[in-house]
Amino acid sequence: MAKLKLALYWAASCGGCEIAQLLIGDKILKLVEAADIVFWPVAIDAKYKDVEEMPDQSIDVCLFNGAIRNSEQEHMARMLREKSKIMIAYGACACRGGIPGLGNLHNRQQIFDTVYRETASTDRNGNVFPQASYQAPEGELTIPVFYDTVSTLNQIVDVEYYIPGCPPEEKTTWLALEALIQGKLPPKGTVISHNVKAVCDDCARKRNVKKIKKIYRTYELIPEPEICLLEQGLLCVGIATRGGCGALCPQANMPCTGCYGAVEGVIDQGAHFLSAVASVIDSKDENEIGTILKDVYDPAGTCYRYSLPDSLVRRASIK
């Protein structure tokens, strides 16, 4: 049987997804028995030109991690889409916008002001900002255009499958790769994970035990080990997050932050989580509810940590 041709790419990403791909450990030997890796900038010395020269649809599968933040990433997403039969969004950033997607709370100029002018360690003489094109004596120098808005991969190109997680757990990665190797891929559009229900489904903590009068940050409380963290006032997003990781964070006494994305059938993970929080608040008094919610330190970052570009609001409106 002919070997599969596999490409891997990273766009607006932290590199964690590349490490997660290596976490499949010795199963990588099974992968390379079945597939030739034709493009993987982090590991093999292939150039963009090599991809440009490949015939359309000549790559069987592309695992694309990272969101789309600039023009180079958009160009690569479009080119790899043309060259690949199957495009897989790998990790929270490609699937839902991820941590870089929180940039959608600001615009380009605000981000540039912070990074290149306002930070204490920046030399503020001259207000120097990146320019997409610069005429040097040697010729024109160009860098990618930084966009105002971060996009998910499927907002730019058609995507066949999604592998959730920040980064995806090893068992989730292997679930997808094994299906690929065996030619048993699920229907187009599937989010590949061991569980389509919420993280709570994999979590051993007892629920429907308590209601809360106060919301805590993780450093303010040592939680009881057997009771649901949300019901102890810690904002555990597991109730609004697709399972499949095995509820790893709640097992370690830490709230789930939502990296596997929305559960099946839910459009907006943050809105789903907000309604779950409302269900555990022990008050019907509007003023008291307002006081309790004031302790939510970072509402947008808590509800939409990995999914702002994929949410119904998508970005903040900035005049």
Q: Which helix (H) or strand (E) holds 49?
A: helix 48-52
Helix axes 27-34, 170-181, angle to 10 degrees: 30
- The smaller minimum CB distance to ligand SF4, of residues 54 and 63, is found at 63
Residue 277: other Cβ atoms inside 10 A: 21
The encoded tokens of residue 238 equal 């597991």
Q: Which helix (H) or strand (E) holds 274?
A: helix 269-280
The secondary structure of residue 35, as a DSSP letter, is E
> For residue 256, what are the CA distances in angstroms to 189, 203, 239, 262, 293?
25, 10, 9, 13, 19
CB of 85 to ligand SF4, least distance (A): 24
Do 186 and 36 touch, CB atoms closer than 8 A? no
CB of 143 to ligand SF4, least distance (A): 21
> What is the CA 51 to chain-centroid distance, rounded?
25
CB of 260 to ligand SF4, least distance (A): 11
- The smaller minimum CB distance to ligand SF4, of residues 54 and 150, is found at 150
Q: Which residues bind ligand SF4 (CB under 6 A)?
A: 13-14, 16-17, 65-66, 91-93, 98-99, 166-167, 199-200, 203, 205, 207, 228-230, 236, 238-239, 247, 250, 256
- The smaller minimum CB distance to ligand SF4, of residues 156 and 230, is found at 230
- The smaller minimum CB distance to ligand SF4, of residues 54 and 239, is found at 239
- The smaller minimum CB distance to ligand SF4, of residues 5 and 257, is found at 257
Give phi and psi for 305, each to the nearest 5.
Answer: -55, -35
Question: Tokens 């998910």, residue?
Answer: 152
CB of 283 to ligand SF4, least distance (A): 19
CB of 39 to ligand SF4, least distance (A): 18
Strand partners, 4: 35
| Cα gap 236→255, rounded to integer Å | 4
- Which of 70, 69, 57 has its CA nearest to residue 158? 57
How many residues are given for the chain? 319
Residue 286: other Cβ atoms inside 10 A: 8
CB of 19 to ligand SF4, least distance (A): 8
CB of 149 to ligand SF4, least distance (A): 17
CB of 257 to ligand SF4, least distance (A): 10
- The smaller minimum CB distance to ligand SF4, of residues 54 and 192, is found at 192
- The smaller minimum CB distance to ligand SF4, of residues 12 and 54, is found at 12
CB of 310 to ligand SF4, least distance (A): 13
- Cα-based angle 53, 58, 60 (whole degrees, multiple of 5): 135
- The smaller minimum CB distance to ligand SF4, of residues 76 and 239, is found at 239
- The smaller minimum CB distance to ligand SF4, of residues 164 and 292, is found at 164
- Which of 214, 168, 226 has its CA nearest to residue 192? 168
Do 258 and 306 touch, CB atoms closer than 8 A? yes
